[in-house]
Amino acid sequence: MVNKISNTQIIKQQYYGYCKTPNLWFADTVLGLNQFKEENVSNPLYIDAQNLPKRLGKRVEHFVFHNLKQNPNVTLLAENLQIQHNNQTIGELDALIVNKHKTIHLEIIYKFYLYDPHIGSTELDHWIGPNQKDSLVYKLDKLTNKQLPLLHAPETQPYLERHGLDSASIDQQVLFLAQLFVPKSLQVAPTFKQLNAHAVMGTFLRPSDLDAYTDCHFYIPQKLDWLIMAHHTVSWLPYALFQLELQNLLDAQRSPLIWIRHPDGELERLFVVWW
């Protein structure tokens, strides 16, 4: 029998999973985008479950804002600053902060990417979303051509003036965190010149590869819990029941993240892709 974990404990596990996720690259090795380096936070997370965002990306932003507020070197001037024109929102600045007397426009990104060596020809090209609807190069293009330039748009200037700021004096940085997954079948791990190899946090396989796991137990976390590192205190499914749940997701062209508990108790965390 598995002891039920409270919602507060689950949120804390999500928070700690976010804290353990590394920057996707160091400094400005990718397109000159300078990575913001978070400092360790010792204060516990205050849980206000009623007001937590339901979407994974927005929940991570909430966690980031919590950490920024605990950092004595940082002043959070604005968060989720929506820029409007003619009563329509044209974009959003994730955060305006002052870090050690430097004013920064910070964009926050948290992604899960899978390595497909058959897509593109560069290190950055090979990383796609679990459902093939997203990619690293797509997000980088959106960052460089839409999200970051918004700071200098004419519509943004009145918002900055309210804080006594001038866009020309504001540094732009990204907090781009990601969990990377490589093919289970890959004989040689990919090498990185631009990305952080420590961001690789698991593997992925295709449904037919699961035939080798019939003596294991399985768990399919909801998407918010993709943040969580695998642990034993969940309701594990035997292979047959797991296959029924898995097939429903695959039929809907959804590639789930799953946890596997091996007979010796070892835990594994990987994606099963529908494509």
| pLDDT for the residue numbered 187 | 81
Domain positions in the chain: 7-202, 205-272
- What does the alpha-carbon distance between residue 59 and residue 65 come to, in Å, rounded to a whole number? 10
| pLDDT for the residue numbered 44 | 59
Q: What percent of the chain has pLDDT over 70?
A: 95
Does residue 60 surpass a pLDDT of 70?
A: yes
C-alpha closest to that of 57 among 5, 108, 113, 122: 108
- What does the alpha-carbon distance between residue 140 and residue 128 come to, in Å, rounded to a whole number? 12
Burial 201-238 (b: 16+ CB within 10 A, else e): bbbbbbeeebeebeebbbbbbeebbbbbebeeebeebe
What is the pLDDT of the chain when averaged over all its residues?
Answer: 94
